Amino acid sequence: MTRLINGNFTNKTMEQRLVECVPNFSEGQDKAIIDLIIQPILDNKSVTLLDIDMGGDFNRTVVTMVGDPESVLQTVTECTSIALELIDMRHHSGEHARMGAVDVVPFIPIKGVTMDECIELSNRYAKYVSDAHSLPVYLYAKSAKYPSRVRLPDVRKGEYEGLQKKLESPDWKPDFGPAKFQPTMGATATGARNFLIAYNVNLNTTDKSKANTIASKIRTSGTIVKDENGETVRDKNGIVQRIPGMFEKLQAAGWMYNEDTAQVSMNLLDYSVTGLHDVTETIKVEASKLGLEAVAGELVGLVPLQAIIDAGNFYSDTNIQDVDTLVTNAIDGLMLDRIESFDPYQNIIEWAIEREQNE
């Protein structure tokens, strides 16, 4: 393997401009459909397929690809066209929030690419797929044109089932495409964002509400204030009052990993502000207050090496400099090998890119 020097790969292939794209498709049970959707990635030699995460209960697949900006844009539009043809939202159900067959398509700068360039890519993607398929598309994150559309949960609010009514509101006219409900396709969100870590912690309970209780305490948006009658408290302007959560740059909710295991499902929006070890240790404490234990950690998709090193430093007794040891300590501390084996050369983005390019 190519050695690391201060976190940077020495091989020249890493000098190319790299954009990551992580489309979420609302199909997680039929592998044959996903195989067809990802074929354009396999066909394009300028794009590397890093990860496919199929979730049966979520009925969602998260695909991670990386490559030069133009090749990634071309490839994800081809994947989108196939997915819109094969996925019918009228028959879709699953644990995870969703509003469309191609639910969200984020563009993330990885190397030699600016955020502004990724914003431009998201706009070009939105225009192409909306023109080609009459698909309603919303811009979110760094690409959002309105404050109400910055957060993906706000854009998804109401999900597919509430989309038809949502499209009738002038406040939710799509940024691209018609303000018309497309029953088979739903709607898509796209935008540019920083690297997001999707990370879950499983609990030894079947009670999703307990996982949600923990999630509401730690997420940035916190918990809604209720009065003695259980009614939502609002201020004089009608704004819902909240108790702020423990962490910044964190989204969290209670979900079911399977029928026997509830989990705290999270998006870490900036791991330099709120790290994997921060949320893991806090969840352990909050779980113990409920008589529960945190039993496993789960990464969905890939993670930057630095985020793992930060956790490795936290879980190491001494000031260890060896990267391999830090990674091993992080895997153990975050419980990433409790559900299944955790391969850092598949799950750490820099190592995964290097492995694929060397192969």
Residue 219: pLDDT band with limits 50, 70, 90: very high
Contacts of 139 (CB under 8 A, 6+ apart): 122, 123, 126, 145, 149, 175, 176, 189, 190, 191
Domain ranges of the chain: 16-192, 197-358
pLDDT digits (tens, 9 = 90+) for 239-297: 888 889 999 999 999 999 999 999 999 999 989 899 999 999 999 999 999 999 999 99
Average pLDDT in the 119-123 region? 98
Residue 119: pLDDT band with limits 50, 70, 90: very high
β-pair partners for 200? 265, 298
- Residue 57 CA, chain-centre distance (Å), reads 16
Average pLDDT in the 318-337 region? 94
Contacts of 352 (CB under 8 A, 6+ apart): 50, 51, 302, 345, 346
Average pLDDT in the 162-178 region? 96
Contact assessment for residue 45 and residue 354, using Cβ atoms and an 8 Å cutoff: no
16-192: CATH, from 3.30.160.100, 3.30.990.10, 3.90.70.10, 3.90.550.10? 3.30.990.10
Residue 4: pLDDT band with limits 50, 70, 90: very low
Average pLDDT in the 158-164 region? 95
Average pLDDT in the 17-21 region? 91
**Radius of gyration over alpha carbons of the chain, in Å?**
20
96 is catalytic: yes
Q: Give the range among 23-32, 155-164, 345-354 with minimum mean pLDDT.
A: 345-354
Q: Could you tell me the maximum CA-CA distance found in the chain, to the nearest angstrom?
A: 64
Q: Which whole-number Å values give the CA distances from 5 to 121, 322, 323, in the listed order?
A: 31, 12, 11
Residue 96: pLDDT band with limits 50, 70, 90: confident
Nearest-angstrom CA–CA distance, 312 and 317:
10
User: In 10 A of CB 344, how many CB atoms?
Assistant: 18
Residue in the block written with tokens 């990267």: 323
Determine the pLDDT at residue 88: 96
Average pLDDT in the 335-339 region? 95
Nearest-angstrom CA–CA distance, 72 and 41:
8
User: In 10 A of CB 78, how many CB atoms?
Assistant: 16
- Interior/surface letters 87-111, b for 16+ CB within 10 angstroms, e for the rest: bebeebebbbbbbbbbbbbbbbbbb
User: In 10 A of CB 346, how many CB atoms?
Assistant: 14
pLDDT digits (tens, 9 = 90+) for 281-327: 999 999 999 999 999 999 988 888 899 999 999 999 888 889 999 99
The CATH number that domain 197-358 falls under is: 3.30.70.670
Q: Which two tokens stand for residue 137?
A: 């598309």
- The active-site residue out of 91, 92, 96, 133 is 96
